Structure 1
């Protein structure tokens, strides 16, 4: 698949999600993703990590019923859905932080005593559905993984990306960056 095809698919997904409710947060799912990407840019992140931050919640965009599923208490594994969809175009430097961003929340709750306190009420509720803080073998496996640090960075930008007053660039501002990361 070409970069043009990847960009077209991503833009279609974001356009459809531009007014989609984001699990009760004060921003749309597309707006949240744009805010998260902007946080990564502001932090001076590498291009692949900016892409991961921008695209971390495409699994929610793909599953239009994710809010209803979460209201029922179902964990929809949006991180896996999103990473699999993105793997058509991007390598693990983008897809692994996406796949691991939920476990990164669980990890940060386990190792950072103040982290839980910064989570939104919705993120606290989903944390319980996602298994709570990592411990034991899960914690050790996450720490040993090759993308743990990147996933934790994406997670922190994710948490900061829920401010409705943040000024954000449009998705098109990321087109060149995304196109440069699409695998041949």
Structure 2
């Protein structure tokens, strides 16, 4: 398994980078996300939902790698401290590799659940038991002040979409493309000479 923390796209070709990232995801992603799907299945389903919604490479890669921190740390996210650490570490790696448009939603995807519970009355009813439990550990619904601050953050709208994909990506019967399907999106971000690709539809 490659040392994912040392993975540097500036020292590799885009294909080499993808090969090493995919090898890590294939190995570390065998652990369970919940009782139904593995971490890798969850990530692939989430990325497919981003693509199906018409979002571009940055959002697709953010969806694929939003729980990368859990895989790096070998955590199951059962405490508030673990959730915070996985969010921060994953966002730092994704931002370093692909820029803020991909890393920003990763950084905010845990907070986005608290935001949605506070702003969408129907959202809570759709949460799985595991998500309800982690919500309590994460601090519960946002206060009005927290909602206002969240809405001023860059990438918060994509983070909210990512949160909804995250909640849906737990289908044991889902058939989605494998990791190779995402090589073009990753390569597009790695080889882009300008700002990140648009995430908006």
Q: TM-score w.r.t. structure 1 length? A: 0.91
Paired residue for 1:164? 172
Report how far residue 98 of structure 1 moved: 0.6
52-61 or 6-15: bigger deviation: 6-15
What is the aligned counterpart of 2:107 among 91, 95, 99?
Answer: 99
Q: Which runs of 5+ in 1 are unaligned?
A: none
Q: 1:31 to 1:144 in 2, by over 3 A?
A: same
Q: Which runs of 5+ in 2 are unaligned?
A: 1-9, 194-201
What is the aligned counterpart of 1:12 among 15, 23, 29?
Answer: 23
Where 1:30 maps in the other structure, the secondary structure is: helix
Where 1:87 maps in the other structure, the secondary structure is: helix
What is the aligned counterpart of 2:157 among 149, 163, 168?
Answer: 149
In 2: Cα distance, 1:74 partner to 1:111 partner:
21
CA offsets 1:44-64 (integer angstroms, 9 cap, x no match): 112211111111111111111
Q: Does 1:47 align with 2:53?
A: no
What is the aligned counterpart of 1:56 among 66, 70, 95?
Answer: 66
What is the aligned counterpart of 2:139 among 127, 131, 143?
Answer: 131
Contact 1:14 1:30 in 2 (8 A): yes
CA offsets 1:23-45 (integer angstroms, 9 cap, x no match): x3410011100000011111111
Paired residue for 1:113? 121
Cα-Cα RMSD: 1.6
Paired residue for 2:98? 90
Between the two proteins, the alignment pairs up a number of residues equal to: 179
In 1: Cα distance, 2:35 partner to 2:108 partner:
21
In 2: Cα distance, 1:125 partner to 1:52 partner:
24
Contact 2:29 2:71 in 1 (8 A): no
Paired residue for 2:81? 75
Moved over 6 A (4+): none
In 1: Cα distance, 2:164 partner to 2:57 partner:
17
